[in-house]
């Protein structure tokens, strides 16, 4: 896949997302226009309920905007089937969740192998790459451990390795340090920096000012809108 | 060879039957009968009595009759149904236990917090038992209601399907009471067993997701 | 398909107690289902097997009734000779059964006296001794041999009581040629078999009467039966297939009915419980499924995972249910065979490929239908909302 016409990995153009609620529709994201360039490091911050996770889900093609369009690598995502969107996520987007969501019955290496297996990578190759990735996140010695045998920080590092398994162009992290103590959070943040430095575009949604401060571009959201954009 | 035959019987008192079928030329008191049924004071003597009659009266064969409650067709069928009921109860118990484990597992966090607050296992188990009894009671009541509703439907369907007047399902008060007596303790026991397995784990491990 | 199956296996063994109980539950239900399928045709198959084993494929009676349950044939020798002369007929036996009393020095018992006309008689299987030869000889059932303490070579006094004969014919002495197994004997039947001529001699009657004729065709039973019907329109002719049809119209339908009812109940039970198990299991890991979807797993793949899990539970339980079902069938057969007047060699549960195929098909359908609702949950799972809810909870 190549970059879009404007060189962006993903572009949201005037996207809004409304949810139907019993008390009436709630608009989580309002008319947001945003472009993520290759290798860019962006943080989205803002108070709870301001729409930052919803925006992240839209950028990651797991949620569809009510209005506006999303262009991923030059293609309008709205026109893609569910299967095509799944393939797009599988090959080009990595997700890191606040609660890790590692599969408890699989070892760390097997968790990292999983998206590769789904993408059809040969067994030997995916095993090699999984061990390489676990080494990369500093857990080469824990490849055979189950999630229940790992600490929170270790689990998140495995989750990052899993997200990188198919060499995505865009890594989306939703409160990646939300469940971790400060020191462990620092380690995870440093790892994410390294991933970005190695060329993967990174979008982090966080409350954590220190984590947001590591990004070159910080977007502040309020009431579904991007209220402020700072570059450092 | 008589297995498939549909029996058709008419029962009459012997004098009435003789009046209907008797030959006027046969002197009274000389008619023949096929079988004479004998009730013994002690049924355990049947074999000895039969042997005695056979020795004393050539031309007559005495044999021990099938004891009511031993091998009569309906007694055998009742045993057959009982065997099937036992298998069904075993299967239901296994499933119930599996479901209980899943349901209890869903509440492991709550149980962990209660343990951390300081509630003893016994107190939690008692609460679970009461809850289990309530659920099992409600389940049994629902099952009975379902049985009563389906009784008519099943009978009507199979009577139509096989063109028979046989009653296939009869939910009697005895059957209903038996079902409740089995279902309620079984349901409560399944939930308590599943909870007990959960409570054996440490409170911290339970509370941590 | 291998990857989803392996993944489903890992999901299953993640909760070993739960998985083991689900598989055991399916095994118990599957065993009952198998037994009901065996029961639905068991008696008929067993009956057919016995009929075929006797080596005769046509029965001729006086009226439209099962052999032995209607009036006698009154011109049996003439009918037998006429039928034997027809093309397509290999052998004809005349069968007559009467009451009998048997004595030894110490024991006395009543029973059934079977006379077989035509050579060789062989309606029975010799267990000990030999078959009938010339002279007043008889063969007796194993139970009769036990009761009367008789062995081949012993003599026994016989008083037969035949329709149309004297009320008290003189006793006759017979030599026991062999101990035999008769196909339709009940376990406690005192049965003695001899030639038709010896039976008639013991009864003090001349020939002519028989319960039925047993006919062996040269291969095409239907054609032979048609020829017999054409030659003797006054008689009723049944091939083994028609005999089975007659039997099915009678008392055997009860077991087919109960088997149908219990098959329906068993399958519904399994369906309901597997659906509940899978639904609860899927609901417990919705967030995981949503995360997998976010990572790029297709909808088809996560749906297939649920289907494979259902197939694994039912497949493993179903495989276990086969030995369990056969054990259970043998127990239930023992119970049912205690019914009065059931021949010892008749079985209520007969293993046959068709029942196994039906068992597999019903279980496969159950696996598929049971997975429909949980598959629907997974297929319709809103990824973003599920991830959001998980974080909020």
Q: How many CB atoms lie within 10 A of CB A34?
A: 20
- pLDDT exceeds 90 at position C337: no
CB contact under 8 A, C251 and B3: yes
Q: Is the pLDDT of residue C314 over 80?
A: yes
Q: Are C257 and B162 in contact (CB under 8 A)?
A: yes
Phi and psi torsions of B51, nearest 5°: -65, -40
Look at B4 and C257 and tell me if their CB atoms are within 8 Å. Answer: no
Assigned token pair, C334: 């023992």
Contact A90 C390 (CB under 8 A): no
| Among candidates C13, C291, C299 on the partner chain, residue whose Cβ is nearest the Cβ of A97 | C291
Question: Per the domain annotation, does A227 fall within a domain?
Answer: yes
Q: What is the CATH number of the domain that holds A205?
A: 3.40.50.300
pLDDT confidence band for B76 (50 / 70 / 90): confident
Quick one: closest CA in B to C256, which residue? B162
pLDDT reading at B158 higher than 90: no
A-chain residues near C301 (CB < 8 A)? 118
Q: How confident is the model at residue B7 (pLDDT cuts 50, 70, 90)?
A: very low
pLDDT confidence of residue A24: 87
Chains that touch C (3 or more CB pairs under 8 A): A, B
Task: Find the CB nearest C29 among B66, B91, B166.
Answer: B91
In angstroms, the separation between the Cα of residue A44 and the nearest Cα of chain C is 16
How many residue pairs from chains B and C have C-beta atoms closer than 8 A?
A: 134
Give B44's DSSP letter.
Answer: G
Whether A70 shows a pLDDT value over 50: the answer reads yes
Interface touch C277/B103, C-beta < 8 Å? no
3-class SS letters over A170-213: EEEEECCCCCCCHHHHHHHHHHHHHHHHCCCEEEEECCCHHHHH
User: Which residues from chain B sit within 8 angstroms of residue C65, using beta carbons?
Assistant: 5
In the predicted structure, residue A1 carries a pLDDT above the cut 60 = no
Looking at residue C123, the DSSP 8-state letter turns out to be -
Instruction: Give the dihedral sign, CA C187/C188/C193/C196.
Output: negative
**Domain tally, chain A:** 1
* Residue A2: inside a domain: no
Banded model confidence at residue B55, pLDDT cuts 50, 70, 90: low
Tell me whether the omega of the peptide bond preceding residue C134 falls within 30 degrees of 0, making it cis. Answer: no
Facing residue for C295 by CB, picked from A54, A95, A174:
A95
User: Where does residue A102 fall: left (phi above 0), alpha (psi -120 to 50 degrees), or beta otherwise?
Assistant: beta
What is the DSSP track for C177-212? EEEEE-TT--TT--EEEEEHHHHHHHHT--S--BSE
Query: Under a CB-based contact definition with an 8 Å cutoff, are residues A162 and A112 in contact?
Result: yes
CA distance A105 to chain C (A): 5
The whole-number pLDDT of residue A2 equals 46
CA A136 vs CA A110, A158, B48, C383: distances in Å: 16, 10, 93, 29
In a domain, A97, yes or no: yes
What H or E segment, with its residue span, contains residue C83? helix C76-84
**What are chain A's partners, defined as 3 or more CB pairs within 8 angstroms?**
C
Q: Is residue A125 part of a domain?
A: yes
Q: Are C47 and C346 in contact (CB under 8 A)?
A: yes
Q: How confident is the model at residue B3 (pLDDT cuts 50, 70, 90)?
A: very low
Find which of A101, A121, A176, A179 to mutate to test the C interface (most C CBs within 10 Å of its CB). A101
CA separation, residue A54 to residues A15, C292, C299, C384 (Å)? 11, 18, 21, 8
Q: What's the pLDDT at B70? A: 53
Residue of C311, C309, C312, C267 whose CA lies nearest to C284: C309
Question: Residue B63: is it exposed, middle or buried by C-beta count within 10 angstroms (0-12/13-18/19+)?
Answer: middle
Residue of B nearest to C186 (CA): B1
Please report, for residues B78, B110, B129, the alpha-carbon distance to residue B124 in angstroms, rounded to integers and kept in the order given.
Answer: 42, 11, 9
Residue C63: list chain B partners with CB under 8 A: none
pLDDT of residue C69: 65
Best C68, C243, C252, C258 residue to mutate vs chain B (most B CBs within 10 Å): C258
Chain C CB contacts of A115 below 8 Å: 295-297
Residue B23 has pLDDT above 80, yes or no: no
Domain residues of chain C, as ranges? 2-51+251-392, 58-218
**Residue written as tokens 């079988």?**
B35
Q: Predicted ipTM? A: 0.89
Buried b (16+ CB within 10 A) or exposed e, A9-31: bbbbeebbbbeeeeeeeebbbbe
Question: Which long-range contacts does A79-82 make (Cβ < 8 Å, 24+ apart)?
Answer: A82/C298, A82/C299
Mean pLDDT of chain A: 91
Which pLDDT score, from 0 to 100, does residue C168 have? 65
Q: Please tell me which of the candidates B6, B83, B154 has its beta carbon nearest to residue C261.
A: B154
Compute CA distances C232 → A77, C61, C79, C81, C241, whole Å. Answer: 86, 11, 8, 12, 20
Is the minimum CB–CB distance between C39 and chain B shorter than 8 Å?
no
Select from B54, B83, B99 the Cβ nearest to the Cβ of C331: B83
pLDDT higher than 90, residue B133: no
Contact C365, C357 (CB under 8 A): no
C338: its two tokens: 């205690």
Whether residue C287 is predicted with pLDDT greater than 70 in this model: the reply is: yes
pLDDT at A94 over 60: yes
Please state, in angstroms and as integers, the Cα–Cα distance from residue C112 to each residue in A24, C190, C302, following that order. Answer: 89, 6, 69
In sequence order, which residues have a C-beta less than 8 Å from that of residue C336 and are 6 or more positions away?
Answer: B76, B80, C342, C348
Yes or no: say if C131 and C123 are a contact pair by the CB < 8 Å rule: no
Q: Are strands A170-174 and A201-205 parallel, antiparallel or unpaired?
A: parallel
18-37 in C: which are within 8 Å (CB) of B? 18, 21-22, 24-25, 28-29, 31-32
C1 interfaces chain A, CB cutoff of 8 Å: no
Which residues of C fall within a CB distance of 8 Å from A104? 14
pLDDT value for C123: 78
What is the predicted pLDDT for the residue at B42? Answer: 81
What's residue C389's pLDDT? 83
Mean pLDDT confidence for A77-100: 92
β-pair partners for A179 = none
Residue C388, chain A, CB below 8 Å: the answer is yes
Taking CB atoms and an 8 Å cutoff, what residues of chain A touch C389? none
Give the containing element (helix H, strand E) for C264.
helix C253-284
**C61-99 as b/e, with b when 16 or more CB fall inside 10 Å?**
bbeebbbbbbebbebbeebbebbeebebbebbbbbbbbe
Q: How confident is the model at residue B135 (pLDDT cuts 50, 70, 90)?
A: confident
pLDDT at B67 over 60: no
Q: Name the strand (E) or helix (H) holding B132.
A: helix B121-162
Where are the domains positioned within chain B? Answer: 1-65, 73-207
Position C111 scores a pLDDT of 86
Using CA coordinates, name the residue in chain C closest to B2: C69
Find tokens 């797009």 and name the residue. A88
Which region among B144-153, C179-188, C359-368 has the lowest average model confidence (pLDDT)?
C179-188
- pLDDT reading at B48 higher than 80: no
pLDDT tens-place string over residues A137-160:
999 999 999 999 999 999 999 999
Q: Over the range A192-225, which residues count as b (16 or more CB within 10 Å of their CB) and which as e?
A: beebbeeebbbbbbbebeebbebbebbbbbeebb
Q: How many alpha carbons lie under 13 Å from residue A25 in its C-beta half-sphere?
A: 9
Contact call for A57 and C383, based on CB within 8 A: yes
Cβ of C293 and A62 within 8 Å? yes
Q: What is the mean pLDDT of residues C216-231?
A: 92
Q: Are strands C137-141 and C172-181 parallel, antiparallel or unpaired?
A: parallel
Structure confidence at residue C55 (pLDDT): 82
Can you give the length of chain B in residues? 209
- Note the pLDDT of residue B60: 65
Query: With contact defined as beta carbons under 8 Å apart, do A131 and A109 qualify?
Result: yes
Domain assignment of residue A199, given as a range: 10-231
Tell me: pLDDT of B34 over 70. no
Q: What is the pLDDT averaged over residues C203-210?
A: 79
User: Residue C391 is nearest to which of A99, A103, A166, comparing CB atoms?
Assistant: A99
Write out pLDDT tens, residues C341-355.
788 888 999 999 999
Helix (H, G, I), strand (E, B) or coil at A26: strand
- Interface touch B76/C335, C-beta < 8 Å: yes
Is A103 part of any domain? yes
Q: What percent of chain C has pLDDT over 90?
A: 40
Chain C contact set for B87 (CB, 8 A): 28, 31-32, 328
CA distances from C16 to A101, C4, C11, C13 (A): 21, 19, 10, 5
Bin C129: left if φ > 0, else alpha if -120 < ψ < 50, else beta: left
Which one of B68, B75, B94, B103 would you mutate to disrupt binding with C, by most C Cβ within 10 Å of its Cβ?
A: B94
Considering only CB atoms, A63 lies closest to which of C13, C14, C384, namely: C384
Q: Which chains touch B (3 or more CB pairs under 8 A)?
A: C
Task: Kindly indicate the confidence band of residue C319, based on its pLDDT and cuts at 50, 70 and 90.
Answer: very high
C-alpha dihedral sign at B46, B52, B55, B60:
negative
Interchain contact, A101 vs C384, CB within 8 Å = no
Chain C environment of B158 (Cβ under 8 Å) = 257, 260-261
Q: Which of C28, C47, C71 is most worth mutating to test chain B (most B CB atoms within 10 A of its CB)? A: C28
Show the DSSP H helices in C14-75 as ranges.
Answer: 16-53
CB atoms A83 and C299 under 8 Å: yes
Instruction: Write the burial class of residue B36 (CB in 10 Å: 0-12 exposed, 13-18 middle, 19+ buried).
Output: exposed
What residue in A sits closest to C14 (Cα-Cα)? A105
Q: What is the DSSP string of A63-112?
A: S--SEEEEEETTEEGGGS-HHHHHHHHHHHEEEE-TT----TTS-HHHHH
All residues of chain C having their beta carbon less than 8 Å from the beta carbon of residue A54 are: 384, 388
CA distance A108 to chain C (A): 14
Tens digit of each residue's pLDDT (9 = 90 or more) over C55-71: 888 999 887 777 766 67
Q: Does B100 or A154 have the greater pLDDT score? A: A154
Average pLDDT (A89-113) is 93
Average per-residue pLDDT for chain B: 77
Phi, psi of B208 (to 5 degrees): -75, 125
Is B1 in contact with C340 (Cβ distance < 8 A)? no
């Amino acid at each position: 896949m190549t970059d879009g016409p404007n060189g962006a990995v993903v572009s949201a153009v005037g996207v809004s997302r409304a949810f139907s609620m019993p008390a009436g529709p709630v608009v989580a994201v309002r008319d947001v226009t945003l472009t993520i360039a290759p290798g860019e490091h962006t943080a989205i911050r803002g108070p709870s309920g301001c729409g930052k996770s919803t925006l992240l889900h839209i950028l990651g093609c797991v949620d569809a905007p009510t209005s506006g369009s999303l262009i991923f690598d030059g293609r309008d995502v709205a026109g893609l089937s569910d299967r095509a969107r799944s393939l797009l996520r599988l090959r080009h987007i990595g997700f890191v969740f606040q609660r890790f969501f590692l599969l408890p019955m699989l070892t760390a290496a097997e968790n990292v192998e999983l998206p590769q297996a789904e993408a059809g990578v040969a067994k030997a190759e995916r095993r090699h790459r999984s061990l390489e990735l676990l080494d990369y996140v500093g857990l080469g010695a824990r490849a055979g451990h189950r999630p229940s045998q790992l600490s929170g920080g270790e689990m998140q590092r495995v989750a990052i390795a899993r997200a990188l398994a198919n060499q995505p162009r865009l890594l989306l992290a939703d409160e990646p340090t939300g469940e971790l103590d400060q020191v462990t959070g620092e380690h995870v943040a440093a790892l994410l920096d390294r991933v970005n430095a190695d060329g993967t575009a990174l979008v982090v949604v966080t409350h954590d000012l220190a984590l947001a401060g590591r990004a070159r571009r910080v977007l502040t959201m309020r009431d579904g809108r991007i209220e402020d954009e700072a570059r450092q | 060879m008589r297995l498939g035959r549909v029996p058709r019987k008419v029962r009459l008192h012997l004098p009435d039957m003789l009046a209907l079928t008797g030959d006027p030329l046969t002197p009274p008191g000389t008619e023949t009968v096929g079988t004479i049924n004998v009730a013994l004071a002690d049924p355990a003597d049947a074999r000895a009595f039969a042997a005695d009659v056979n020795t004393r009266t050539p031309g007559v064969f005495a044999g021990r009759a099938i004891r009511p409650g031993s091998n009569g067709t309906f007694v055998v069928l009742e045993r057959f149904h009982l065997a099937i009921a036992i298998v069904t109860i075993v299967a239901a118990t296994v499933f119930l236990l599996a479901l209980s484990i899943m349901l209890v597992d869903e509440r492991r966090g709550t149980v962990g917090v209660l343990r951390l607050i300081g509630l003893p296992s016994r107190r939690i188990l008692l609460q679970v038992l009461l809850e289990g009894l309530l659920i099992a009671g409600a389940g049994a009541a629902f099952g009975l209601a379902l049985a009563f509703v389906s009784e008519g439907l099943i009978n009507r369907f199979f009577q139509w399907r096989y063109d028979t007047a046989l009653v296939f399902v009869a939910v009697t008060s005895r059957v209903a009471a038996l079902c409740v007596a089995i279902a309620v303790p079984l349901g409560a026991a399944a939930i308590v067993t599943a909870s007990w397995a959960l409570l054996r784990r440490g409170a911290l491990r339970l509370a941590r997701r | 398909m291998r990857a989803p199956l392996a993944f489903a296996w890992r999901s299953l063994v993640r909760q070993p107690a739960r998985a083991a109980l689900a598989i055991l539950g399916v095994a118990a239900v599957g065993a009952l289902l198998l037994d009901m399928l065996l029961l639905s045709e068991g008696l008929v198959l067993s009956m057919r097997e016995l009929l075929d084993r006797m080596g005769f494929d046509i029965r001729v009676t006086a009226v439209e009734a099962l052999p032995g349950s209607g009036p006698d044939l009154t011109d049996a020798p003439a009918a037998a000779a006429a039928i034997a002369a027809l093309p397509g007929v290999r052998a004809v036996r005349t069968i007559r059964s009467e009451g009998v009393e048997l004595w030894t020095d110490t024991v006395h018992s009543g029973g059934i006296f079977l006379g077989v006309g035509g050579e060789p008689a062989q309606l029975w299987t010799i267990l000990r001794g030999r078959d009938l030869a010339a002279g007043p000889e008889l063969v007796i059932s194993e139970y009769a041999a036990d009761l009367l303490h008789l062995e081949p070579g012993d003599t026994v006094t016989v008083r037969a009581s035949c329709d149309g004969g004297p009320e008290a014919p003189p006793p006759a002495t017979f030599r026991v040629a062999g101990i035999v197994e008769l196909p339709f004997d009940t376990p406690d039947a005192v049965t003695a078999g001899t030639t038709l001529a010896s039976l008639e001699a013991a009864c003090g009657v001349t020939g002519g009467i028989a319960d039925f004729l047993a006919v062996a065709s040269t291969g095409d039973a239907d054609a032979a039966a048609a020829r017999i019907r054409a030659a003797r329109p006054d008689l009723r002719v049944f091939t083994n297939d028609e005999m089975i049809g007659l039997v099915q119209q009678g008392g055997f339908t009860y077991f087919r009915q109960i088997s149908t009812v219990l098959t329906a109940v068993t399958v519904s039970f399994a369906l309901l419980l597997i659906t509940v198990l899978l639904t609860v299991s899927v609901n417990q890991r919705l967030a995981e499924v949503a995360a997998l979807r976010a990572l790029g797993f297709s909808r088809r793949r996560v749906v297939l995972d649920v289907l494979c899990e259902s197939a694994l539970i039912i497949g493993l339980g179903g495989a276990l249910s086969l030995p369990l079902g056969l054990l259970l069938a043998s127990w239930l057969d023992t119970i049912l065979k205690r019914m009065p007047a059931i021949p010892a060699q008749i079985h209520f549960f007969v293993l046959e490929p068709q029942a196994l195929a039906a068992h597999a098909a019903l279980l496969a359908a159950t696996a598929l239908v049971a997975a429909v609702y949980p598959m629907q949950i997974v297929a319709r799972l809103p990824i973003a909302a599920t991830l959001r809810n998980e974080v909020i909870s």
